[in-house]
Structure 1
Amino acid sequence: MFSWSFLKRVCWIILAFAISFAALHKKEIAAQEKGGIVLEGLVISDESLAFLRSFYQILGATENTFYYELTSEQKERIFEGIREAINKELSAQDCNTIVFSKKETARFRAEMDGTIAGIGVLSQIHPDDARPHERRLEKFVARMHAKYGAIDAKNCTFAQRLSPVEKEEYEGIITALTTIGSHGLLLAEPRLGSPAEKAGLKKGWLVKTVDGKLLEGMRLEDGTALIKGAPETRAVLGVAPPEDELDRQSRAGKGNLTEITVTRAPVQSVSVWSALITAKKKDGRREKIGYVRITQFSKGSDEQFGAHLKRLAVKKLVIDVRDNGGGVRVEVLKILDRFVPPNLALITAKKEDGSVVEKLSSVTGLFDNRTFAGKIVVLVNENSASASEILAGVLRDHKRATLVGEKTLGKGSIQQTWTLPDETLFKLTVAHYALPSGEFIEGKGIEPDVKVVDDPNTPGDEAISAAVDVLLGWKSSP
């Protein structure tokens, strides 16, 4: 039968749905004086309360009088079904509102904390395995554009406009794109001092098995989860170096795997790295320009950023947030304090009715505590989102930076997160934010001042070159 803990778990996730009603619909919030209850500081309307009580009655009756006894697995499926139904309904209105599963909760917390137990190397699906499905997706999106007009396939509401047959085709392509192919997982450069580096793994090597389990056919998240694990435990990776690194005298030949044992350890996520660029000025002299890339805004990103900025010791700076999907908001606000004079607006969070939820400004005080007052270029692209857009938009609005690259994604919303009794998370969009200029970017993105697209088929990086040209005056900026 259903245990009381299971009943509480199901009812809490249903309560999450009710909370979303209370937060998203201001008419229901006003129902506080007309009935309903206040729970966890939130008003639950009579309508949502009736919904909750109905489920209490269904679950209570099943617990006490159902003829059959359900297994733990069946109860878990009931819970997952409720979670998926809530997510499906809420995603039709907002892509960023979600009730996380246990796996998703663990992954989200690890990303935000910036610490993971693993081997310290990034991996991805091999481009040769992904390419056919990328072409399928391009053709599918082109067909949908012709039928429905301009729609953004990266927006989760994209699927809501599709017919059941089209949706099935789309989901099949996305599944194929996130499934490990015959090449296995392609390794990036192992982090310095990481377990992967100590074990001798190298960039470009292919991982095909983990502890004897073949990765081909697994979803990407499931394959990488096998590599991660508790500190001090071991993972045996079946790897295939590129053919030019094969020692034909000690290996049977192409396709044979070498087993490498790696001892997992806590790995601090390095979200910031830097380099010095030496470029020629108009007068022929050379000048050093700092380049800082922020891959995500996780716990500790500001501290890492400050250390790189101090070490570079330059007067001109390129900040690269291309492909940075955002992260912890407080980290980007602390980074902005390094550039924006005191007492200036950063972002203003507002509800749908225009009421101000929160207004954030740069560090207040009589003195200018900026650690960098030089010229800045921020590199952005279509995958720069959320906190990356806050960084780019605020620096642009206060005339502290020139934006170079492509139009950003357009995620201008703010989420609040609740921890549910089963330790999973519920993340809910509670406001949209405006930049200092008053511009809302949700669904619109930010246009760069200088449009440049990097061509991956050419040596070098056209966007970085354009940024350097702007800083040195070779290319004009607004």
Structure 2
Amino acid sequence: MRFLTKVSCSLAVCLALGSVAFAAAKPEDDRFAPLKRFSQVMDLVENHYVKPVTRNELIDGAIVGMLQQLDPHSSFLSKDEFKEMQVSTSGEFGGIGIEISMENGRLTVISPIDDTPADKAGIKSGDVILEIEGESTQDMTLVDAVQKIRGPKGKAVSLTLVHKDQQKPFKVKVVRDTIPIISVKANEVEPGYLYIRLNRFNENTTTELKQALTDYQKGGKQLKGTILDLRNNPGGLLEQAVNVSDVFLPSGQIVSIKGKNQEQEKIFSAKGDGSDVVSPLVVLINSGSASASEIVAGALKDHKRALLVGEKTFGKGSVQTVIPLSDGSGIKLTTALYYTPSGRSIQAEGIEPDFMVPMQDNESDRDKLAANHQFRERDLTRHLENKKKKASDATDDPKQKMLDQLARDNQLKLALELVKYFPIKTYVP
């Protein structure tokens, strides 16, 4: 009887230990159960799908789906997309200097960059690229086209193009060069008032901004006010958004980011190194101002350093971390939300301007004028041209371009009036 008791106790202990072991193993089984299901589906697709498909294609597709269902900004980057993303933020690349897009299935030049090989070769906005190195672009993707046009400095690329509104194609050989990705453009809008356009936030943005400000003030020229244009700026590097804000803020918090874990929380503040711009500032924003643009706009607004003019911003208040993978591809993963100095998240909310001013539709205005068009001398066939006027129209004078923009841009026009006459917070250096 005593023996049976011992056996029973031993059996009970074994069962108890077995239960513990089983309980410990169960979470592990639960963890890998979805992977078993995934493997089962992948085997079924490989063996029974109507068309041949590789395992790599299936895995890439699964990763794409996994990240897409998280949020709109987390994504998988193929090797080519990962390289292209690095180029877009690095500040320069080897190429000919054109922005291209797919328009109605045709590879179209959006614009040549000033003073680049493409510009000097006579490539124009609206040109359609028919062939690259003799290969038709008809079934070519935009990424493939970019890769074929870009290349090492000094090596030529052959293009077949057709000008807009023409039918006869022409060939041109363009020697590649190092093309800087210029993110800052500056022009004097009136004596003492500087218009600065930021179209992206890449590695060189703050350097370019400071250089533009320095160049303007050379020779003792006084900077009475600045208009910072962030319209249709989709963002870029967080570090550059902080540094651009720092140019205009002497002290205080610029932005804070908070992730899932406490160690991911970080606060970025102005350094106050004495080189800040102290004159009045107006910032132009619209629905295309996103991410890094909103960090700058939010910081300047919360500190009452600038007036915001235009329309409500996009509302992207999340931070993405780009993580490279071992095969050269990568993922872009949302890892944190950012908050303006007042502690406000603008995620899906956006930043409201101080002066809500919708952009006037100049195309509609022109259509109205066209409807009331009256017949004049210039409408007569074979009328004599005014050579003086024609020469004036063809000018590339930056001042004239600025005046033309001011005439058609109602938001910029208001910004100029505000920066000149409205009391805006400034600092004594």
Work out whether the TM-score is over 0.5: yes
Provide closer, same or farther for how the CA distance between residues 234 and 185 of structure 1 changes in structure 2, counting only shifts above 3 A: same
Which position in structure 2 is the counterpart of 1:114?
Answer: 91
Asked whether the 8 Å contact 1:338–1:369 carries over to 2, the reply is: no
Deviation string, structure 1 residues 298-329 (Cα, Å, up to 9, x no partner): 11111111101112232211111111111111
CA–CA distance in 2 between the matches of 1:466 and 1:216? 45
* Aligned residue in 1 for 2:299: 394
2:372 aligned residue: none
Aligned alpha-carbon RMSD (Å): 3.3
Match of 1:214 among 136, 160, 169: 136
- The runs of at least 4 consecutive aligned structure 1 residues that moved more than 6 Å come to 55-58, 474-477
* Counterpart pick for 2:158 among 225, 236, 246: 236
Tell me whether 1:185 sits opposite 2:108 in the alignment: yes
Residue 471 of structure 1 corresponds to: 419
Shift in CA distance, 214/450, structure 1 to aligned 2, threshold 3 Å: farther
Cα distance, 1:292 vs. partner?
0.9
> Measured at CA, do residues 438 and 336 of structure 1 come closer, stay the same or move farther in structure 2, by a change above 3 Å?
same
**Which residue number corresponds to residue 269 of structure 2?**
362
In the TM superposition, what are the counterparts of 1:9-48 in structure 2 within 5 Å?
46=28
Q: Deviations over 1:322-380 (max 9, x none)?
A: 111111111111111111122x1111112368x5733323244xx65242011111111
Q: Does 1:350 align with 2:258?
A: yes
Q: Which residue of 1 aligns with 2:171?
A: 259
Distance 1:48 1:264 in 2: 56
Aligned to 2:118: 196
1:308 aligns with 2:212: yes
Give the letter aligned to residue 160 of structure 2.
G
- Give the Cα separation in 1 of the matches to 2:130 and 2:94: 21
Partner of 1:339: 248
Match of 2:311 in 1: 406
Partner of residue 91 from structure 1, selected from 68, 84, 94: 68
User: Does residue 438 of structure 1 match 2:343?
Assistant: yes
The answer to whether the Cα contact below 8 Å between 1:347 and 1:433 also exists between their aligned partners in 2 is yes
Q: Residue 56 and residue 451 in structure 1: after superposition, are their counterparts in 2 closer, same or farther (change >3 A)?
A: closer
Q: How far did residue 267 of structure 1 move? A: 1.5
2:80·2:143 contact (CA, 8 Å) conserved in 1? no
Secondary structure at the aligned position of 1:308 is classed as: helix
SS at match of 2:320: strand
- Give, in whole Å, the separation in 2 of the partners of 1:277 and 1:35: 72
Residues 109 and 124 in structure 2, CA contact (< 8 A), matched pair in contact too: no
Aligned positions of 1:125-204 closer than 5 A: 125-126=102-103, 129=104, 180-181=105-106, 184-192=107-115, 194-204=116-126
C-alpha contact (below 8 Å) 1:115/1:267 kept by paired residues:
yes
Decide which of 32, 39, 44 is 1:50's aligned counterpart: 32
Q: Residues of 1 paired with 2:247 and 2:101: CA distance?
A: 34
Give the 3 Å change call, closer, same or farther, for CA 431–277 of structure 1 in structure 2: same
Q: 1:174-219: CA deviations, max 9, x gaps?
A: xxxxxx34xx413414332x22123232344333332233334544
The DSSP-based 3-state class of the residue aligned with 2:192 is: strand
In structure 2, the residue matched to 1:417 is: 322
Higher mean alpha-carbon deviation, 388-397 vs 231-240, is at 231-240
Deviates further, 330-339 or 387-396:
330-339
Mapped contact 1:190–1:202 kept (Cα < 8 A): no
Are the counterparts in 1 of residues 253 and 270 from structure 2 also a CA contact under 8 Å?
no
CA distance in 2, matches of 1:446, 1:461: 21
With over 3 angstroms needed to count, the CA separation of the structure-2 counterparts of 1:225 and 1:461, relative to structure 1, is: farther
Partner SS, residue 256 of structure 1:
coil
2:419 partner SS: helix
| CA distance in 2: counterparts of 1:114 and 1:35, whole angstroms | 53
Does the residue aligned with 1:446 lie in a helix, a strand or coil?
coil
Deviations 1:149-197 (A, max 9, x none): xxxxxxxxxxxxxxxxxxxxxxxxxxxxxxx34xx413414332x2212
Q: Distance in 1 between matches of 2:38 and 2:127?
A: 53
Mapped to 2, the partners of 1:425 and 1:46 lie a distance apart of: 28
Counterpart CA distance in 2 for 1:368 and 1:468 is 28
Please give the TM-score of this superposition, normalised by the length of structure 1: 0.65
Contact preservation (8 Å) 1:291, 1:318: yes
1:256-287 C-alpha deviation (Å, 9 max, x unpaired)? 11101112233121111111101xxxxxxxx4
8 Å Cα contact 2:307/2:424 also seen in 1: no
